[in-house]
Amino acid sequence: MSHTVEIPVDVKDALRKFRFKKATATTAISIKIIKAKLTMAVDEEFSDLSIEEIAEELPENSPRYVIISHELKHRDGRISQPLVLINWQVHSCHSLPLPNSMGAPSGSPTDLMTLHASSLSYFQQTAEVAKVVEVRDGAEGLTTEVVDERLLAA
């Protein structure tokens, strides 16, 4: 099946490696879209950082898919290390005023946001991550509490 934005083999390999990595601390991998090539690329990997520290490292002006492996304490006392996909779309990515009434220019953040939104389902399926947390409020919207609430939701 053809997709607007492709996920190259090296990104799929990095996702697979991340998925099966044994980690006891919070780790994450950030994936960005390269608009000029209509492809995805690994942006950055994070180890031994809190979710709040990872949020501070993410760009305020560009969307990202971020997969986080995070220790979760269940209500019954069990501990697991699930994966969660963060759909990072902060307001400053798409809140720039349009230069004219004809719409955004071809190089605008709006184009990238559209590509990002249209590729979310394909990326989620490729990464094999069931839970998604939408973040549109920047670092303030990505906290351990927010992630835990989403992961513990039925």
pLDDT digits over 66-102, tens only? 999 999 999 899 999 999 999 999 865 544 444 433 3
Q: Encode pLDDT of 11-36 as tens digits.
A: 999 999 999 988 778 999 999 999 99
User: Considering the chain, what percentage of its residues have pLDDT values greater than 70?
Assistant: 86
Angle between helices 9-20 and 109-127 (to 10 degrees): 50
Q: Are strands 132-135 and 27-34 parallel, antiparallel or unpaired?
A: unpaired
- Residue 44, judged by CB atoms within 10 A of its CB (0-12, 13-18, 19+), counts as middle
Domains of the chain: 9-152 (3.40.20.10)
**In the structure encoding, which two tokens stand for residue 73, read together?**
């304490």
> Which of 50-77 are b and which e, b meaning 16 or more Cβ less than 10 Å from the residue's Cβ?
ebeebbeebbeebbbbbbbbbebeeeee
pLDDT of residue 1: 57
**Average pLDDT of the chain to the nearest whole number:** 87
- Give residue 104's pLDDT band: very low, low, confident or very high (50, 70, 90): very low
**In the structure encoding, which two tokens stand for residue 46, read together?**
């994070």
Average pLDDT over residues 38-59: 96
pLDDT of residue 119: 95
Report pTM: 0.86
